């Protein structure tokens, strides 16, 4: 075996081993969740003495959902004299007039609601929250993004947990999905989010590890924000950053899986990519910023280890991109040198890296839905789309590593609630750039690899290769089609497309 061939195989198995380690960690998260399933926070009785609460609504160019958000918050079951609502609007379009009109309308009904408009967007969302906090009067601060529609009982169900323990600094609710059945893409996103909340948040929180506020659908004790250093905007995930700083200061967080705040998931592939890019880049920025401090802290080893896996997880996209490039050369080398011996190493690593993902999402769906078996048909698409995102998120990781600063790009929302609702022709579409062409090139690369495997009767690799092939072709093609032709049948889920 030549030196280049040795290098290809060594690098290939190194990358696969790293992915396998993080794959096994998913099994560990499921184990944590199941082991501590009985430690879920029990519902608490209503408060006898209600505190003053400030609800902050940070928005930026949200003309299709701003009025819905403000109306839903004004429907909260809470005394008006104890509720302060801040509409923190950094918009530069028609949203300003829509939001200001809604504020005046609800103020006329007796609500203590104010409209705060900034023109410089300094600090983006973190800056808006900080500016509002300086004028806030509430002891507790609830935050909702523009695409959320909280239930009327949200505050009544979350606030009692602060009263039982003065060290509780934040209570996070689970995200629901208003439009999860709109398309295949929205269905996949709902499954991704379900697993994040149920298993990651649920497993970590109940095991005593750190977890994060998700930027919305949560309530903060105002004192916890201040003692942790306040909102900072040197990362794109100000919520993750503040969460870890607050928990390092000794504040406890609580995750309530049974309190659900419905929200709209992106219906457009490019909007979904933009959201994922921001989350991936911000998490790596937070990792670089806080992980050394976490590892030097006096926290238990289990807490430090879980924080390491949590904050560094998006480095896997870089590994996945390398694996994508290396897969055909590694296959070619191994086929020429004898396939059988390598299977003893290759197959266990692939199973650890891929089957753990399947198990992760199966468990989360089983925990939430009575028809979970019916939802498993989406699992191959979920895994494919996760792979297809690796170009998008690798770019985010590299930007974070090299300190490339970028603005907070909010995720476009179109007010999609029903299958018949349309987003084509509305504002806020994301541009595609050259990235989809790279994804298409990788999709064709894996198409060629599939044919190579078929021609040489290497059938055992086909399921894995096709996950990569479909993932890259789907994300690349859908980005281009939605940018230039609008909605396409590729977007629809099986139920909707019938």
Does the pLDDT of residue 415 top 90, yes or no?
A: no
Q: Is residue 127 part of a domain?
A: no
In 3D, which of 255, 56, 51, 37 has the Cα closest to residue 160? 51
Q: Is residue 131 part of a domain?
A: no
Distance of alpha carbon 376 from its chain centroid, rounded? 20
Q: By the 8 A CB rule, do 490 and 388 touch?
A: no
Contacts (Cβ under 8 Å, ≥6 apart) of 185? 266, 267, 269, 272, 385, 478, 491
Beta-sheet pairing, 218-221 with 140-143: antiparallel
DSSP for 32-91 reads HHHHTGGGSPPP-PPPSSPPPEEEEEEESS-TTTHHHHHHHHHTSSS-GGGEEEEEEE--
Q: Is residue 117 part of a domain?
A: no
In the chain, the percentage of residues whose pLDDT exceeds 90 is 79
Q: What is the pLDDT of residues 151-162, one digit of tens each?
A: 999 999 999 999
Per-residue burial over 4-27, b = 16 or more CB atoms within 10 Å of its CB, e = otherwise: ebeebbebbbebbebbbebbebbe
Does the pLDDT of residue 488 top 90, yes or no?
A: no
Q: What is the pLDDT of residue 202?
A: 97
Sign of torsion over alpha carbons 368, 354, 16, 467: negative
Distance of alpha carbon 306 from its chain centroid, rounded? 18
Q: What is the pLDDT of residue 497?
A: 41
Q: What is the DSSP letter of 14?
A: H
Q: What is the DSSP letter of 92?
A: -
Higher pLDDT, 432 or 140: 140
Residue 239 bears catalytic tag = yes
Q: Is residue 430 part of a domain?
A: yes
Dmax (CA) for the chain in angstroms is 80
In this structure, what is the dihedral angle of CA atoms 194, 196, 201, 207, given to the nearest 10 degrees? 110
Q: What is the pLDDT of residue 456?
A: 87
**Whole-angstrom Cα distance, residue 336 to residue 436?**
33
DSSP for 197-233 reads IIIIIHHHHHTT------SSSEEEEHHHHHHTT----
Catalytic residue among 89, 90, 145, 147: 90
Q: What is the pLDDT of residues 259-292, one digit of tens each?
A: 999 999 999 999 999 999 999 999 999 999 999 9
- Residue 341's pLDDT band (cuts 50, 70, 90): low
Contacts (Cβ under 8 Å, ≥6 apart) of 295? 304, 308
Q: What is the pLDDT of residue 491?
A: 46
- Arithmetic mean of pLDDT, 45-70: 95
The label of the residue with tokens 């819905």 reads: 68
Lowest average pLDDT, out of 279-288, 344-353, 442-451, goes to 344-353
- Residue 29's pLDDT band (cuts 50, 70, 90): very high
Q: What is the pLDDT of residue 489?
A: 38
Does the pLDDT of residue 372 top 90, yes or no?
A: yes
Residue 67 bears catalytic tag = no
Q: What is the pLDDT of residue 418?
A: 75
| Element at 474 (helix H, strand E) | helix 462-484
The number of folded domains in the chain is 1
Q: Is residue 82 part of a domain?
A: no
Does the pLDDT of residue 61 top 50, yes or no?
A: yes
Catalytic residue among 89, 130, 194, 239: 239
Distance of alpha carbon 188 from its chain centroid, rounded? 12
- Residue 426's pLDDT band (cuts 50, 70, 90): confident
338 lies in which domain range? 1-51+139-498
Helix intervals (H) in 297-403? 301-312, 315-337, 340-368, 372-375, 379-388, 390-401
Lowest average pLDDT, out of 391-395, 408-412, 437-441, 461-465, goes to 408-412
- Arithmetic mean of pLDDT, 1-18: 89
Q: Is residue 493 part of a domain?
A: yes
In 3D, which of 85, 87, 78 has the Cα closest to residue 51? 78
Q: Is residue 287 part of a domain?
A: yes
Q: Is residue 121 part of a domain?
A: no
Helix (H, G, I), strand (E, B) or coil at 486: coil
Does the pLDDT of residue 498 top 50, yes or no?
A: no
**Whole-angstrom Cα distance, residue 452 to residue 448?**
6
Q: What is the pLDDT of residue 344?
A: 61
Lowest average pLDDT, out of 79-93, 254-268, 345-359, goes to 345-359
Query: What is the residue-averaged pLDDT of the chain?
Result: 92
Q: By the 8 A CB rule, do 293 and 248 touch?
A: yes
């Amino acid at each position: 075996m030549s030196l280049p061939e040795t290098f290809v195989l060594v690098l290939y198995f190194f990358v696969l081993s790293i992915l396998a380690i993080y794959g096994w960690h998913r099994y560990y998260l499921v184990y944590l969740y199941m082991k501590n399933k009985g430690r879920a926070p029990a519902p608490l009785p209503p408060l006898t003495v209600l505190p003053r609460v400030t609800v902050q609504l940070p928005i930026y160019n949200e003309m299709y959902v701003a009025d819905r958000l403000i109306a839903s918050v004004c429907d909260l079951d809470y005394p008006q004299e104890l509720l302060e609502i801040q509409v923190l609007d950094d918009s530069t379009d028609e949203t300003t007039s829509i939001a200001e009109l809604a504020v005046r309308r609800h103020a006329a009904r007796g609500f203590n609601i104010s409209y705060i408009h900034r023109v410089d967007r300094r600090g983006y969302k973190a800056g808006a929250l900080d500016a509002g906090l300086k004028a806030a009067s509430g002891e507790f601060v609830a935050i909702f993004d523009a695409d959320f529609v909280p239930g009327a009982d949200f505050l009544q169900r979350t606030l009692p947990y602060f009263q039982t323990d003065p060290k509780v600094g934040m209570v996070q609710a689970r995200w629901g999905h208003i439009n999860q059945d709109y398309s295949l893409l929205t269905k996949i996103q709902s499954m991704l989010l379900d697993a994040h909340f149920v298993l990651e948040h649920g497993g970590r929180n109940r095991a005593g590890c750190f977890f994060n506020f998700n930027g919305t659908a949560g309530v903060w004790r105002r004192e916890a924000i201040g003692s942790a250093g306040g909102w900072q905007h040197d990362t794109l995930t100000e919520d993750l950053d503040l969460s870890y700083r607050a928990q390092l200061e000794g504040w406890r967080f609580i995750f309530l899986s049974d309190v659900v705040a419905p929200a709209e998931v992106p219906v457009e592939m490019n909007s979904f990519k933009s959201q994922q890019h921001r989350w991936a880049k911000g998490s790596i920025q937070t990792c670089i910023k806080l992980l050394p401090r976490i590892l030097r802290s006096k926290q238990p080893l289990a807490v430090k280890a879980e924080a390491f896996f949590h904050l560094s997880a998006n480095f896997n996209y870089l590994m996945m991109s390398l694996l994508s490039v290396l897969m055909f050369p590694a296959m070619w080398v191994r086929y020429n040198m004898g396939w059988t011996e390598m299977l003893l190493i290759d197959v266990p690593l692939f199973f650890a890296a891929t089957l753990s993902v399947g198990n992760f999402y199966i468990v989360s769906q089983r925990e939430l839905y009575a028809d979970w078996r019916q939802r498993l048909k989406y699992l191959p698409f979920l895994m494919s789309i996760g792979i297809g995102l690796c170009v998008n998120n690798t770019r985010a990781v590299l930007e974070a590593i090299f300190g490339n600063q970028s603005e907070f790009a909010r995720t476009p929302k179109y007010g999609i609630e029903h299958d018949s609702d349309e987003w084509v022709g509305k504002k806020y579409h994301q541009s595609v750039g050259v990235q989809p062409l790279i994804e298409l090139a990788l999709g064709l690369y894996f198409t060629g690899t599939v044919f190579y495997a078929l021609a040489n009767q290497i059938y055992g690799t086909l399921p894995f290769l096709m996950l990569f092939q479909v993932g890259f072709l789907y994300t690349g093609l859908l980005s281009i089609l939605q940018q230039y032709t609008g909605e396409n049948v590729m977007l629809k889920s099986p139920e909707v497309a019938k």
